[in-house]
Each structure stands twice: as structure tokens, then as C-alpha cells.
Chains A and B, each alone.
Chain A
Amino acid sequence: MKHKGLLVALGLALTLNVNTTTLMAQHDPGPRGGAPGAGGPFPNITTDEESFFTHALSTFMEVDSVSGGVPGETGSGLGPTFNGNSCAQCHAAPAAGGSSPSVNPQVALATLDFAKNTVPSFITTEGPVREARFVRNPDGSPDGGVHGLYTIRGRSDAVGCDLMQPDFATQLANNNVIFRIPTPTFGLGLVEATPDSTLQANLAANQGAKSQLGIAGSLNTSGNDGTVTRFGWKAQNKSLMVFAGEAYNVEQGVSNEAFTNERAAVKECVYNTSPEDSTSMGSATGTAAEMSSDLVNFAAFMRLSAPPAPGPSSASTKNGASLFNAVGCALCHSTTLTTGRSKVDAMSNFTYHPYSDFALHHMGSGLADGISQGAAGPDQFRTAPLWGVGQRLFFLHDGRTSDLLKAIEAHASDCDSQSRFRRSSGGSCGSEANGVIRKFNSLSHSQMQDVLDFLRSL
């Protein structure tokens, strides 16, 4: 017994030592500085498409209030529950369309316009923008839905609404809350224009190498037509329209043509007719973008935006790129995909570098969030596209770290003791990335640094 305790202590000391050495030896160089590598329109699109993009960007940046009457908050439909008041508020860094900014706007949002919200403990000024999902309902059945951080209670434009925030403290105490951060939206027109068959073929490629490392993967699919879905942390959304429609409804509380019902629609807190955002069918004339709903504009902004441009390469980043492939990262973070025919000519048959296969992979208990969406199970996530990761501030689905090295290490994870997220097929469990991370950890410190430098160049 004594020996056993000693061994455990020794093991722990060794682990700590190794980890400390690892952390000291190589490090995440941090977000790449300089001009944002994204945020502009896709190159070589037509003048009309570029005009649409410009208008769509302004819509993406529009700030919503409850009825659109507060100066500077001209969009309408905010709430009754919400996480943000503008797309660009959360999709902010390194440019509008990206992910969490360095200063979390959700702190100030809690009391904007005299709202009476308390900032939940998991929202901090320096932390990532987050949405919260509850894993289970009070009766134990699966929930999985987003519970808005805030309500419009107390806002000057929400007189009479007394809707309270969820009791996050209790839910946290019950271990019933998981978080998601905003996914960047740059270059998504390319993803949308990639045929299902391409994604299927890409997933089927390199089977030998994948099997050897324990990588499987599957594509999430639509329950309606069985086709591949690809947007969102669990690839749960079929199209950019659905993606935007869901976000507009869930994050900002704006009902729209894709998600027509107001959430948390207590009578006292409903101030607008539904859907709150719709295509203009009135006699007013304008451009196609001006007449289109916000939803169409949001989708167009994402569709017509350029993919993130990588930074300059160096000997280290070049070596890192080779190692990225050699250790097997690229087996899931696919470096190259090609679109099919697109309505946007410039995007047709275009080869791009998303560093994702847009497939779902089991990530083990360390990352599992207990939420199922479509075919994605509790520990499955879409391979996060790494384009633009060089300028990202927060990593992993819940933004738990700003350190790229820690994010890589978090890819390795065993089954939990209850085998709660044991894979149904094959009986194996744990993260599909375990084999790759073992290989990554076997690299020399300098090689690891090259991989990190490479990633920060993307």
C-alpha cells in the first residue's frame, strides 16, 4: 500500500515535471499581429455581389434593440432572451465575422439601456463570448438547448417585461451547463459550395493511416433529406441560411423567416409581430440587399466573405506544416478541399484550405459536452476549421483556453469512468485524436514549436 502511494506520487511528480518542461520548452506564440487576415469580400466576385456583401456587412453589424427605437440600436426584435445584440458583437475578432473579441462585450450588455441582468460567473471581461446550454431538463430528460444569458427586463424599451434570467448558479452547481463560443464565419461560402460527395470522399480517404491512429469520423446529416450538414460546432446546420436563422433567433431573440417563433414568448415581453425580421414586400424600392431580410443578408455576408489569409511563412512554419501532416493532424484537419459549381462564379471549383474535414469525431470525456445534435453525440464535434486560427483568441468549443498548446493537448482524452460517452460502434472509446496527440507529444520541443508557429501563421 505504501509502495503504491509512493508510485502514484512519483508518477504525479514525473507528469508534472514533463508537463512543466513541455510548457516551458515550447509555447503558443499568441495571436498573430498585424492587419486582420479576413473580413473582406471574396476576391473576384462581381460588382453586384460585392455591393450585396457591403450591405450585408452593415446588416451583420447592425445593433438590435427591442423595437428598433433606441438611437444607434436600429435593428428590432431583441429578446425576450438573448446573448448578444448584434452578430458582429460576438463575431468580432480579428474583424467582423470572426470570433470572440479580447474584451467580452457581454459584460456591458447585461445592463445596456437599463437592463437588470446579472453577469453570470462564467462571463468575464477577459473571457470569451459564450452561450450556455443546459444538458438536462429538470425531469432528467435531455435538454441541449441554448438558455439566453440575459432578458430584456428593465430595459427602457421593454416596459412591463419581468422575465427573469435562468438560475445559472444552481445549474452550474448541478453540473448542468456547457458553453459554446462563436465560430468564425469567414469563407463559409466555400464550405457551403463543397459537394457532399467531396466531403464523403475526403472522409473516406487515407483509411489505412486513419485506422492505425484510431480515427474514424462521420458526417452529420439532415433529418429531412439525409444530406450532409456542416455548420456549427457539431455540424448541425445544413446551410448558411439555417445557421444564420438559428443564431438570430437563439442568440439575439429575433424571430425570422427560418425560425419564425419567438423564444420565451411570454405575453408581457413580446413587443413585435412575428417574424420580427422578414423580406420587404412593401412598395418601397431598393437594392436586392436592401429589400432582403436581415437573415438573407447575414447568409450573404458569410457566403461572400473571403477565407482567412495566412500570414507570411518562415522556415519554422514550413517545417511545422510538414509535421502537421506527418503526425496525422491533417487526417481530420484536412488541408485542402475543392468546391463544386457555385452560384457565385468566383467560388466555382475553387480549391481552398480550411484545415477541416467538416466531419464529426469522438473527442472523449475531456471535451464531451453531453449534448446531442442531429447525428452528433455527446462527445462528438466537427473538426474545427483551422484557417484563421493564427488570429484566434480563444480555443475549443467552450473557449476554455487561449493557449494553442493546451488546446492541442485537450484533444487527448480517455473515456470517463462511467463510460458515459462510450462509442456505440466498435466498443472503443476516448478521443479519436489520442493517437495523433501521442505522436505530437513525441516530437522534439523545437518540432512542437514549429507546429505551433505554423498554426499561428494560418
Chain B
Amino acid sequence: MLSAIFFAVRRARLRAALMACVLLVAPPGLRADSTACEPSPKIRLELETASAAVAGAPDFDHLIAPFLALRRQHPNSLQVHERYQDTVQRYGIEGHLRALTEEYQVLSIQHPDEPMYRYLYARSLMGRNTASAIQQMVALLADQPDFSPAHRSLAEIYASDAFRNPDQAKVERDRFLALCPGSVLAARPGPLPEPSTLIDQAERVLAENGDPNRIAALALQGIRDDERRLQHIRPFDWYSVDFKRQSQRELQAKYWRLWSLQVRCYRRAGQTEKASDLLTSMDQRVAVLLMGSDPGYWDALATLARLYEEGNQKDLATLELGSMQQFLTAHPDPSRAAQLDDLRKRVDPPVH
């Protein structure tokens, strides 16, 4: 029994000594972090704690602070760097993303022999300049074929909608899983927040004769939430140009709803001058849309016609209807013709 224990201890020592030798002769990248596949239990726990701590953080600085602290604490932990990068990419805006890339570019220059920093710089480009990220990871793997994180990232990129390449994805995934059995791949890009429904809520509150201040606050918050959402779409090449345009158009439509709500709230509060000023500025915006052949032009005209009609400003409503008719003549469309007809009946009801 004792001899069995003795041999077991010797075997363990021998294994430890062998491991130490392996680490000493291993490429520098693997030396930086011996657990490249998954975080150590200690790091995993610390990452989970940091994630829990930032739930409901009021701003980006508060959100990123625990991950910055962890990075200072574990400068050689690949997973800590990765989580830091993911957090910046998920919650940051262009300025943060740019700073992230610049920071890791500097680190890769400062550590030319460390594959981890080469990799992290390339990774910071994922979703921003993904073609360049691919190029740099491929170059890194040419030097360090078993650098598993690069295989994982490439597998994730090739599995994304924007850079879909099923064959390459399989090659990289197989290679990664061979090096890191049991590890999992992430879906790229991460989930986007859903478009805000606060404007709908504000419209409901208005319909129920709710508090104008609450209506305004809800509507504005809805716009802000969607602006923030757009900031997480625009800088990334994960998303197509069409999707970006569509998201922007949806947000622009919400701006018209926001202003309409404001006009109606002002009117309810008897602040007709404020309502009138806002309508004037909306009219000016419509003129700009016309100059730029903006697809939102028609809807903006309809919005204004409706608002003028509600305010019993028949002359102004009729002007908007005239512009709509002009547009319709140039761009015939049966559903728009019906919409115009309906608006005309509201502005100038038929006498029975």
C-alpha cells in the first residue's frame, strides 16, 4: 500500500516535472497561459463574479471596470482578455471599439514574440474588420499551428452569417475540438437587443389620457434605446448594409412618432405655440427629405397632414396633402392613393 502511494507520488512528481519541461520548451504563446482552451476554475469564478457585478451598470465605465480590474490582476490570462474584449464589443460604441483595437495593436507591438497578443489584436478586429482578422489569424496559425484560440475564432467567423463558409468552419472547428476536446464555440455576432417598444407604450399612455411628462419621457427613452442599439449595429461588419439601413429607417420612423407625441402633448397642455414651433421644424425636416429623395418622405408628409388635421389647421393639412398628391403622381402606388384618399376625407369630410 505504502509502495503504491510512493509510486503514485513519484509518478505525479515526474508528470509535474515533465509538464514543467514542456512549458519551458513550449512556444511563448502557450507559456503565457497554460489553460488556453478554457479558463482555470479560479479565473472562471472571477469572471462569473465580475459578470454578476455589472448587471444593471449605469454606464459603460461601470460596466467595464470589473473586467479592467481582472485584466490588471491576470495580465497573462487569455480568457480574461477575451472577456474584456467581448464586453467592449458588446456594450461599447465606436470610440471604445477604436480604443480597444489600438490598445491591442500596441500590445502586439510591445510583445512581438507572444502569439497571445498577436491573436488578441486580430481578435479585436473581429466584426469590425473581419477580413483583416482572418488574415492575421491565418498568419498566426502558420507560425503556431496548434494555437487553439485562433482556430476557435476562425471557426466562429466562418459560421457567422456575414462570413459563412461551412467547409472552412468545419475544418477550424474540428481542429479546435481536437486541441480542446469538450470546449464550446460561441455564435457570432452575439445577441442584439430587441428594438424598443417604449414608443408604443407612450402612444398607449397618450390614448389613455396619461401624464404628458411620462409620455415624453417614455418616447425619448425609446429613441435613446434604439439609438444605442444602432450604435451596436453600425460599426460592425457582422451586419449587412441592408440591415443597417433598415434599422436606421425604423429608427427614423420612430423619430416622427416621437415628435407627433410631443405635438399632441403640447396641444393637450394648451401649449399651442410650442406645438406650432415643433410642427414648423418638422416641416423643415420634410423639405430636406424631399431634396434627398428619402424613402421616409411620404410617411413624414402623412404624419404632418394628420397632425395639422387634428389641430384643425385645415390649410396647412391641405398643403401637405398637395405635396402627397405631387409625390403620388410621380410615383403611383395604389395603397398610398388609398391612404391619401382617407386623409383627404379626414381633412375635408364629405357633406351629406
A binding-site residues for B, Cβ under 8 Å: 58, 63, 67, 69-74, 114, 156-160, 265-273
Contact = CB atoms under 8 A, between A and B. Distances in A.
Contacts of B296: 71
Contacts of B98: 267, 270, 273
B252 to A, nearest CB: 5
Contacts of A272: 94
Contacts of B95: 265-271
Contacts of B224: 156, 159
B228 interface: yes
Closest 6 CB pairs of A and B: A72-B285, A270-B95, A267-B95, A72-B288, A159-B228, A71-B252
B233 to A, nearest CB: 11
A71 B289 contact: yes
B220 A156 contact: yes
B231 A69 contact: no
Of the listed residues A58, A67, A266, the one surrounded by the most CB atoms of chain B closer than 10 A to its CB is A67
B230 interface: yes
Given A67-B234, A71-B300, A273 B228 contact: no
Nearest to B299: A71
Contact of A156 (B93, B94, B227): B227
Interface string B271-285: 000000000000011
A282 to B, nearest CB: 9
B60 interface: yes
B289 A159 contact: no
A58 to B, nearest CB: 6
B235 interface: yes
Contacts of A157: 227
B307 interface: no
Interface string B70-108: 000000000000000000000011111011000000000
Contact of B286 (A72, A114, A269): A72
Interface string B285-325: 11111011010100010000000000000000000000000
Interface residues of B, number: 35
B223 A71 contact: no
7 contacts: A71-B252, A71-B255, A71-B296, A156-B255, A265-B95, A268-B95, A270-B98
A268 B94 contact: no
Contacts of B291: 58
Of the listed residues B92, B227, B289, the one surrounded by the most CB atoms of chain A closer than 10 A to its CB is B227
B165 to A, nearest CB: 22
B59 interface: yes
Contact of A69 (B61, B92, B230, B285): B230
A424 B266 CA distance: 62
Contacts of B289: 71-72
A74 B294 contact: yes
Interface in B195-235: 220, 223-224, 227-228, 230-231, 234-235
B256 interface: yes
A71 B285 contact: yes
Contacts of B228: 159-160
A69 B289 CA distance: 12
A327 to B, nearest CB: 46
Contacts of B144: none
B300 A268 contact: no
Of the listed residues A70, A72, A74, A272, the one surrounded by the most CB atoms of chain B closer than 10 A to its CB is A72
Contacts of B99: 267
B60 A159 contact: no
B251 interface: yes
A267 B95 CA distance: 4
A74 B93 contact: no
A377 to B, nearest CB: 37
B94 A114 contact: no
Of the listed residues A58, A159, A271, the one surrounded by the most CB atoms of chain B closer than 10 A to its CB is A159
Contacts of A70: 252, 255
B272 to A, nearest CB: 19
A79 to B, nearest CB: 12
Nearest to A269: B95
A267 B96 contact: yes
B102 to A, nearest CB: 10
B235 A159 contact: no
B248 interface: yes
A271 B220 contact: no
A270 B220 contact: no
B232 to A, nearest CB: 11
Contacts of B256: 71
A69 B287 CA distance: 16
Interface in B240-256: 248, 251-252, 255-256
Given A67-B234, A271-B231, A273-B235, A160 B300 contact: no
A67 B61 CA distance: 22
A160 B60 contact: yes
Given A58-B291, A70-B255, A71-B255, A159 B220 contact: no
Contacts of A160: 59-60, 93, 228
B219 to A, nearest CB: 10
Given A267-B93, A268-B95, 14 more contacts: A71-B256, A72-B284, A72-B287, A72-B288, A74-B288, A156-B227, A159-B228, A267-B95, A268-B60, A270-B94, A271-B234, A273-B94, A273-B98, A273-B235
A270 B231 CA distance: 10
Nearest to A270: B95
A69 B231 CA distance: 11
Nearest to B253: A71
A273 B96 CA distance: 11
A311 to B, nearest CB: 30
Contacts of A267: 92-93, 95-96, 98-99
A156 B59 contact: no
Contacts of A69: 227, 230, 248, 251-252
A271 B296 CA distance: 23
B301 to A, nearest CB: 12
Contact of B292 (A74, A156, A271): A74
B213 to A, nearest CB: 14
Interface in B43-67: 59-61
Contacts of A158: 227
Contacts of B286: 72
A270 B94 CA distance: 6
Contact of A114 (B60, B93, B220, B288): B220
Given A71-B300, A114-B220, A159 B231 contact: yes
Nearest to B284: A72
Given A71-B285, A71-B289, A156-B224, A271 B251 contact: no
A444 B329 CA distance: 65
Contacts of B255: 70-71, 156
A74 B255 CA distance: 13
Nearest to A162: B59
Nearest to B60: A160
Contacts of A156: 220, 223-224, 227, 255
